A = this chain, B = another copy of it.
């Protein structure tokens, strides 16, 4: 197989030096005549610069890593990560960078993969998501000088760049909505309390309830994000005769809805449900789910933009971007109102 073309070869064919070719490739200053000639050679030869060589010389790889720890099998059953990846991918495409995906469960090789992420000369920076409280990954990243931003709200948020949605405000809105509907025995299906989203949604909901003079008392359960955990939690909660429930994620809400109908009850008549995510297609459930919508794709895009600015040195002091959520009112809450902005 014939040797790959390099800058030197292209230069020779165009009658210029390799530096000149490099300049036309990278948009340096070149006379328009030379430029034309060089570009012609590039077009006819199909020359493409060698990525590794370029990375080595320029000390920049053009790839950003996306790290998702504890990628349990169930991870991708939730549309959340797909959407996030879509947002991140489209943003990296836009800035002409490549996306490297680091998924790992907690096998024995976890450490080795973590260290692969910070291998010099592999990626320019990384986006970390789906971390849990006290996740060693973030501490580890802080110990390196690899630029990174986290999607979510890490423990020590003050010292890291991060982009998140306002889980707390969104959940508070849900509580207020339920209260406004006249429901007085609210229940809560929380998300794992070792995640920032789980904590914030729980606190926000309780806060909203308190403002309305309500309380969950013992009508509270915790799911693990899975649909089935939502069903189980709801089944248990039903014993407390709630007239409404805030479920911390759409997927768990689908399970909760199922538990409600399995118990022979009707949603929204007997029990009003509001969930969080706005990610399950409305028509998938009966009744259609009222949900606090979070802009997942935008979060992903923003994370990339923030990261590139950190990499470029433009952003230097830790910055937090927080996206607002929006309450999409549908039938499951028992309101007759149409979907409308909120929160």
Contact = CB atoms under 8 A, between A and B. Distances in A.
A298 to B, nearest CB: 13
A99 B66 CA distance: 10
Interface stretch (A24-32, A46-54, A128-136, A159-167): A46-54
Interface in A100-154: 100-105, 109, 112-113, 115-116, 118-122, 145
A227 B76 contact: no
A85 B120 CA distance: 25
B100 A116 contact: no
Contacts of A56: 50, 52-53, 56
Contact of A120 (B50, B63, B120): B50
Most B C-beta atoms less than 10 A away, residue of A52, A63, A86, A284: A52
Contacts of A115: 48
Interface in A210-238: 227-228, 231
A101 to B, nearest CB: 5
Contacts of A76: 79, 81-83, 85-86
Interface residues of A, number: 55
A283 B255 CA distance: 9
B100 A98 contact: yes
A284 B227 contact: yes
A52 B55 contact: yes
A1 B89 contact: no
Contact of A104 (B51, B73, B93): B93
A77 interface: yes
A70 B288 CA distance: 29
24 contacts: A48-B120, A49-B120, A50-B56, A50-B120, A51-B61, A52-B61, A52-B121, A53-B56, A55-B55, A63-B100, A71-B89, A73-B86, A75-B82, A76-B82, A77-B82, A86-B103, A89-B101, A93-B103, A93-B104, A96-B112, A96-B116, A98-B102, A99-B102, A100-B100
Interface of A: 1, 4, 48-56, 61, 63, 71, 73, 75-77, 79, 81-83, 85-86, 89-90, 93-94, 96, 98-105, 109, 112-113, 115-116, 118-122, 145, 227-228, 231, 254, 281, 283-284
Given A85-B103, A100-B100, 13 more contacts: A50-B120, A51-B122, A52-B52, A53-B56, A55-B55, A63-B100, A75-B82, A76-B85, A77-B281, A86-B103, A93-B109, A96-B112, A98-B102
